[in-house]
Structure 1
């Protein structure tokens, strides 16, 4: 492992079939429900523009698709202003009738507080879960990740 990289890992289990979770991760009208819509031409090596709608004042940002193996694996480099790209790896595995999502975020070591970044990914994955079952998605101002609740 590269000592200049921080690895954040999260796992979520959803009762939904793998194809449904995959579609929620990759189709713009579905991503719009939990993280934000994207525009562009999907495909390995292509850059799409993702607007993270829960981020105040968010402008579309580049996301380069590095790997895509439907419905099991998606790897993207997310553009971050004035920073090296953040590598995000999403791996789906069937478990019974449901799906396990293993989420990995590789980011360059910085003096940033990674607990804030981790809280952000908990937030988005909880929004994904809510969108899959048709429930209202959490809002940031009232959100507490499950691992941080009293």
Structure 2
């Protein structure tokens, strides 16, 4: 089921997805910022984040080289904004995660800047997959077993979203 929507923020189009996780905000923050926790559902990173830059390696994508990411905002435990570094500006991805919490439930609002070079039919299902993996890893503390094949059909739904 498609959970993403297209939203304009500060004059820029974003793909926005929301997840409610039954965990404290500090736990969800760790799951999206600590390399060992990220490895349970998404990627790992190396380097010194205090420099404002880390090297990201996608764990669940075959044949993906490491990529440099710049940390544009890191306001623990509420807001993380990063962007990839690429020689080709059309290949830069800007990702934004915001966390709110109440009564032991943390709401993650995840957004990716949409440009004419970002195909929402591809990234939409991808983020659905990864955020469901996040939910499972936060719940279990284990490597997620969510399978990609269950998300491929969402491309058709995201094609409709891309038109609007």
Q: Identify the TM-score tier after normalising by the shorter chain.
A: 0.7 to 0.9
Given that residues 126 and 137 in structure 1 are in contact (C-alpha distance below 8 angstroms), is that contact kept between their aligned partners in structure 2?
Answer: no
C-alpha separation in 2, matches of 1:146 and 1:126: 15
Task: Report the structure, 1 or 2, having the larger helix content.
Answer: 2
Alpha-carbon distance change, 81 to 12 in structure 1, aligned in 2, over 3 angstroms: farther
Equivalent positions of 1:102-113 (< 5 A) are 102-110=109-117, 113=119
**For structure 1, which runs of at least 5 residues remain unmatched after alignment?**
none
Equivalent positions of 1:1-150 (< 5 A) are 1-2=10-11, 5-43=12-50, 46-79=52-85, 82=88, 83-110=90-117, 113-134=119-140, 136-140=144-148, 142-144=149-151
Let me know the Cα RMSD of the aligned residues: 2.2
- CA drift of 1:81 comes to 7.2
C-alpha separation in 2, matches of 1:127 and 1:26: 15
Alpha-carbon distance change, 94 to 125 in structure 1, aligned in 2, over 3 angstroms: same
Map Cα deviations across residues 36-79 of structure 1 (whole Å, 9 max, x no partner): 11001113x61101111111111111111000100000000024
TM-score, with length taken from structure 2: 0.78
Alpha-carbon distance change, 145 to 18 in structure 1, aligned in 2, over 3 angstroms: farther
**For structure 2, which runs of at least 5 residues remain unmatched after alignment?**
1-9, 158-164
User: Aligned pair count?
Assistant: 143
Given that residues 80 and 86 in structure 1 are in contact (C-alpha distance below 8 angstroms), is that contact kept between their aligned partners in structure 2?
Answer: no
Given that residues 95 and 112 in structure 2 are in contact (C-alpha distance below 8 angstroms), is that contact kept between their aligned partners in structure 1?
Answer: yes
